[in-house]
Amino acid sequence: MSIPFRILDIQLFERGVKMRMPFRFGVVTLTACPQAFVRVRIRTDDGVEAEGASAELLAPKWFDKNLALSNDDNFDQLRTSLRLAKAAYLADGESRPAFAHFTANYQPQIDAAAVQQLNPLIACFGPALIDRALIDALCRAEDISFYEAVQRNLPGIDATLTPDLDAFDFASFLGSLAPANRIALRHTVGLVDTITAADVQQRVGDGLPETLEEVVAATGCRYFKLKVAGNAEQDLARLTRIAAVIDRVPDYVVTLDGNEQFADAEAAARFWQQVQATPALHRLAAATLYIEQPLPRATALQSDVRALAAMRPVLIDESDGTLDAFPQALTCRYTGVSSKDCKGIYRSLLNAARCRQLNLQAASEGRPAAYFMSAEDLTTQAGLAVQQDLALVNLIGLTHVERNGHHYVDGFSGQGGSAAEAQGFLRAQPGLYEACGDKVRLSVHGGMLDITSLAAPGFAASTQPDWATLQPLAGS
């Protein structure tokens, strides 16, 4: 049974994050970036008050890849989304279940953002953070975990915004979700990441791995996400160098991220044929699970990708801007869609329901279960961001997750927080973090993350950031 509540307060903060090494993010190379934080307070109809929180990096050149915009412009776009969402959610004084707060503001937020020339991905960023903080507060009010709250459907998830799920049994589906205690880490190899020691011009020297070769040795990873740039000659050469390293790993798995870099579906299919035809890439090609977002978002949902999909499954990521994007993608022969906390927990849960419905239908017709979700990371940082994302993808049954935030940022020490905050998360989330001298970092062993502690009351977090170290969101 869903639990209605009123939203009493929403506060927006931010804090700078410093990269330990440059990260090529789409068409930009990052060395620093703000992280946004949301803090809410709610009151249930039973009179119980509780606080909740969430966090997410304000990553540039993913939500909007317009090269005419600076990184600061992109940061401000996302801040605007947060401010619009805060005003809308607070203006709604009604007591509603968590999902109904989301549905009441979904289209109005997109419309309000469009007036300011912000696309739907940007529009949904603000509600995504607020919705997570509200779920956190609801879980704390009921003293239950995020897992239990969703399994019992306390948010009241339904088909209000997804008519293709009108006949779907949400209670049965949500109740069947069974989180695990561990998840495999899929290491991202960015476009400017070093492969071997010979590539390193200047060492960071902080004790963390810097090359792909060192990552494999230090973490035991066997899942890898490889980014390509859409230049066949350069991409094949780089993939060949990567394969020379990961071919030493037994039973490794690869996903290929097209980053919207291919001009059309034919170009993407030709490139994959070249990958398969390159002798040095035979094992890498055979280990590739799927190809992510090869086409620009402007054309992806109008392009038939069946030629590429006949060779490897294809999923959308950047094209997943609205709740109807995945159904549109299906008509173009995509079969997968990404889960990202920055796009919203409800979108992930609804798309997981769609995959369940589609695969059940396929089974009834004697066809294989072809529809799937993937866990793709937006450089989530140690603390609330990485924990809530891990809990979400774990709950919907994904067994590996792209993680790169821990590789480009030195744990909590790169986030500008206090030592007390880092130690607090270390104590509160045993197994997920480890102490390295006076630093606290994500703990990766045998390529796996121990996420047992995420099952505690609240949305995957048993402690909170040091709010005194945060600044009000710029412009608020």
With beta carbons less than 8 A apart as the criterion, state whether 229 and 191 touch: yes
Sign of torsion over alpha carbons 383, 384, 387, 393 = negative
Q: Do domains 5-143 and 174-472 have the same CATH topology?
A: no
Measuring CA to CA, how many Å separate 286 from each of 200, 311, 386, 459?
29, 11, 30, 37
Checking if the pLDDT of 89 tops 80, the result is yes
Q: Give the closest residue to 352 by CA, choosing from 299, 360, 310.
A: 360
Tell me what pLDDT residue 27 has. 65
DSSP 160-219: TT-GGGTT--HHHHHHH----SEEEEEEEE-TT-B-SGGG-SS---SSS--BHHHHHHHH
Token representation of residue 137: 């507060």
Pairing verdict, β 471-472 and 5-25: antiparallel
In tens, the pLDDT along 293-334 reads 999 999 999 999 999 999 999 999 999 999 999 999 999 999
Residue-range domain boundaries for the chain? 5-143, 174-472
**Residue length, the chain?**
476
25 phi/psi in degrees, rounded to 5: -110, 95
Q: What average pLDDT does the segment 124-152 reach? A: 98
How much is the mean pLDDT over the chain?
96
- pTM of the entire structure? 0.97
- Return the bridge partners of 57, or none: 35
In tens, the pLDDT along 397-418 reads 999 999 988 999 999 999 999 9
With beta carbons less than 8 A apart as the criterion, state whether 204 and 19 touch: no
Q: Which residue type sits at 392?
A: L
Checking if the pLDDT of 24 tops 80, the result is no
E strand segments, 284-341: 288-292, 314-316, 336-339
21 — pLDDT class (breaks 50, 70, 90): confident
Q: Can you tell me the distance from the alpha carbon of 174 to that of 153, in angstroms, rounded to the nearest whole number?
A: 7
Q: Can you tell me the distance from the alpha carbon of 269 to that of 278, in angstroms, rounded to the nearest whole number?
A: 14
In tens, the pLDDT along 99-114 reads 999 999 999 999 999 9
Tell me what pLDDT residue 45 has. 97
Residues 6+ apart with CB under 8 A from 388: 54, 132, 136, 146, 341, 345, 459, 460, 461
Q: Can you tell me the distance from the alpha carbon of 71 to that of 61, in angstroms, rounded to the nearest whole number?
A: 7
Roughly how many angstroms between the first and final C-alpha of the chain, as a whole number?
36
Q: What is the CATH number of domain 174-472?
A: 3.20.20.120
Q: Can you tell me the distance from the alpha carbon of 324 to that of 131, in angstroms, rounded to the nearest whole number?
A: 19
In tens, the pLDDT along 339-358 reads 999 999 999 999 999 999 99
Tell me what pLDDT residue 23 has. 78
Q: Can you tell me the distance from the alpha carbon of 94 to that of 83, in angstroms, rounded to the nearest whole number?
A: 20
CATH class of 5-143: alpha beta
Token representation of residue 129: 């953070």
With beta carbons less than 8 A apart as the criterion, state whether 26 and 62 touch: yes
